[in-house]
Chains A and B, each alone.
Chain A
């Protein structure tokens, strides 16, 4: 053997040793809360879905850009407005090696419709599901449903056989505190499987090598979820190297994390908009001093709007981490446009004039209700608003309290003027109109009522022709924006902090997808 060959050989052996050393990588991930249950149909809640989505998959799914794409179904078609066909991939196996077929899909959809499921309302329009052959599923709806794909992207597919063997053909009965095999065990078709679960302490996900898809980075073999409640501890654990990724980094610590070598911060607009509501139907403000309700007048609402210096709030209160909003929904929601999101200009003099024109040259008194533990810097935003409105003579008394009291009292119709934030899990404007603008809707505490808007909402619910549907969405947005029924403030921004060498793409719904994670 020539010396050169020998050196090459030694180098090769050495290098292969090094690469196997760095081959397996664990991502230690932390956030404030933990999944409540591993049963994929028992709880429709943020962290629960985040955990389930690493293990389970759905017919369709949202990609990194939040648009709907194929997952277990490779394509789909509608033959009439109420009948959908889904054509499944034929190479999908569960993590125990069993093949996934149409039977499993039908079983799972029907399971999610059972009385103990938390998704039964969610897919209430699905009237039947049946397997046409091994890889074709037919789903019928009771009425035309334009957002069915949205809804199906959250219905996870389980194995029928596994569910039968472990007697979990019904979802865990969460409300009764039932304990089932499926609450502490999971078996899906996704890129990871659970290898250890200690609720609120530690959950370990291992790679599922039977997964049909391909990882962005093969080195990622294990995920550890280590929830830490206290924000300062979470940041400290990241800085000390005990964590790799924190998906809810607190605003006040971002600068500190950025300044640390070996760590980085990424931010993106979150799916939540913060705004203020004004009761427009009461004859007399509960906390006012004028004996009437100034909010009934659009001029007054506009005066308040133009008196708020949103850029100052962004800079001083939110430390740059907010996007000023012109409507109460955010980019990515069907119906959102940049045009709609433009704000009326900040103009104190115009606001004063509007107020005087409306008959309140000396302003009026009102109480602003705010939560102090729900949204990012909620109370600080309200404090800023109080000062700004004071400049046009509106004397605002701030009443900030904990979320469980704030929302209860809001529901009990106790608020004249209040703060609220709204997220849109379906990413469709209907969700906003249905809860915040429809006459008598459960969160419509401004008591807005407009027959044209109500009619448009009916169209949104039943029209499958997307063009017509989008036209009515646009029309409804125009009406409510011109009416200034709410005072939009800003879209919240979320930030993820991680080690510099780790790349987990940040998503507006705050859900990490570890199949797209990679190490440098």
Chain B
């Protein structure tokens, strides 16, 4: 149902993005040729006919042929998918690990000088737009210091259909800047979330009780407190992966990262309707799937839901 709504919304948007024909043909093409092309693309059919054709084909995994690149959209997406997935996984990892660590640190040392600095920088992370951060990183690490590449994916190795940049030095170097850029926003979220959780949990009775028992501070922080503090983090992390995929558009454009988001931006500029619709449907699908998985995970992680469900069914 959600998918159908997304499909409809994205589809109707395309009526406002302009005429693809002008981008497809040269200035000198005659009006008759334009009309003919419009006819062959099915753009003259009524909207509801176009839409039902789109839904039927999409359910079969067919999104047609890209107007601009003239290749099947499913092929283009599967070609670009590995780049985006690798970027998203690495940045999700960076966001989770460093976000948790910094969150715990600032949660424990609430008044420390270092904590203030971390929080101040993390505030910058949320408030500066991704492309500005990306460009700043490029200028700092590529132009001034000259230690990291400013664009591209480096050398890639093909493992079957999957192209990976993890197996070459240039590939590993190339992923650093874009993944850090992409992770900053999520990292900030996690820092603040973990910090709040930690601060709250450290006030609870069971922590006081543990302290009274003389358990070491480290054990209290990382074993008792963090464990409980992580539950909401895990829930959010799942949804974050979806958001990362969606927000990778800007990062990919800044770093010329050959992923799906970059493909989408190019498609928007060209009014490449098949790619745009396939991409939006794909993102919607990812979100729906992730929500579904998170809901199921919640059931396992949080005992209260399980108990409630059993009471209801019992």
Q: Which positions in A face B, CB cutoff 8 Å?
A: 36-37, 44-45, 121, 174-179, 199-202, 226-230, 232-234, 236-237, 239-242, 373, 402-405, 407-408, 411, 422-423, 431, 435, 442-443
Contacts and interface: CB of A to CB of B under 8 A. Distances in A.
Nearest to B266: A229
Contacts of A227: 256
A227 B266 CA distance: 13
A240 B150 CA distance: 8
A263 B153 CA distance: 25
A177 B152 contact: no
Contacts of B143: 236, 239-240
B161 to A, nearest CB: 15
Instruction: Give the top 9 A-B pairs by smallest Cβ distance, nearest first.
Output: A404-B18, A408-B19, A177-B65, A405-B18, A240-B142, A177-B70, A236-B138, A407-B22, A240-B143
Contacts of A373: 269
17 contacts: A36-B70, A228-B151, A229-B253, A229-B265, A230-B254, A232-B138, A233-B254, A233-B256, A236-B151, A241-B146, A242-B149, A402-B18, A403-B23, A404-B20, A404-B23, A422-B27, A442-B30
A236 B150 contact: yes
B22 A233 contact: no
A400 B254 CA distance: 25
Contacts, number: 107
Contacts of A174: 70
Contacts of B34: 411
Nearest to B22: A407
B232 interface: no
B205 interface: no
A229 B262 contact: yes
Contact of B71 (A179, A236, A407): A179
Nearest to A118: B26
Contact of B151 (A233, A239, A423): A233
Most buried by B among A179, A236, A237, A239: A236
Interface residues of B, number: 45
B151 A232 contact: no
B72 interface: yes
A264 B30 CA distance: 42
A236 B139 contact: yes
Contact of B142 (A178, A237, A408): A237
A201 B135 contact: no
A233 B19 contact: no
B153 A201 contact: yes
A404 B68 CA distance: 13
Nearest to A233: B151
B281 interface: no
Interface string B189-231: 0000000000000000000000000000000000000000000
Given A177-B72, A199-B69, A230-B256, 9 more contacts: A37-B70, A121-B28, A226-B151, A229-B262, A233-B138, A236-B139, A236-B142, A237-B142, A240-B150
B71 A177 contact: yes
B38 to A, nearest CB: 11
Nearest to B134: A233
Contacts of A242: 142, 149-151
A226 B27 CA distance: 27
Contacts of A403: 18, 22-23
B146 A200 contact: no
A438 to B, nearest CB: 12
Contacts of A237: 142, 150-151
Contact of A443 (B19, B27, B253, B270): B27
Contact of A201 (B253, B258, B270): B258
A202 B256 CA distance: 11
Contacts of A199: 69
Interface in B10-51: 17-23, 26-31, 34, 37, 40
A112 to B, nearest CB: 16
Contacts of B135: 232-233, 236
Contacts of B20: 404
A240 B26 CA distance: 36
A443 B138 CA distance: 43
B271 interface: yes
B54 interface: no
A67 B69 CA distance: 33
B255 interface: yes
A460 to B, nearest CB: 15
Most buried by B among A36, A230, A237, A405: A230
A257 B253 CA distance: 21
B70 A175 contact: yes
Contact of B256 (A121, A229, A407, A442): A229
A121 B253 CA distance: 36
Contact of A44 (B26, B40, B66, B270): B26
A443 B142 CA distance: 45
Contacts of B27: 422-423, 435, 443
A259 to B, nearest CB: 13
Given A236-B139, A240-B142, A435-B27, A230 B19 contact: no
Nearest to B18: A404
A428 to B, nearest CB: 13
A37 B269 CA distance: 19
Contact of B253 (A230, A240, A402): A230
Contacts of B17: 404-405
Contact of B152 (A226, A407, A408, A411): A226
A38 to B, nearest CB: 13
Given A233-B151, A236-B139, A242-B142, A228 B256 contact: yes
A117 to B, nearest CB: 14
Contacts of A234: 151
A435 B20 CA distance: 21
Contacts of A45: 26
Contacts of A431: 28
Contacts of B152: 201-202, 226
Contacts of B18: 402-405, 408
Contact of B19 (A176, A178, A200, A404): A404
Nearest to B137: A236
Interface string B119-151: 000000000000000010011001100100111
A177 B70 CA distance: 4
Nearest to A228: B256
Interface string B54-82: 00000000000110111110000000000
A228 B253 CA distance: 9
A226 B37 CA distance: 32
Nearest to B146: A240
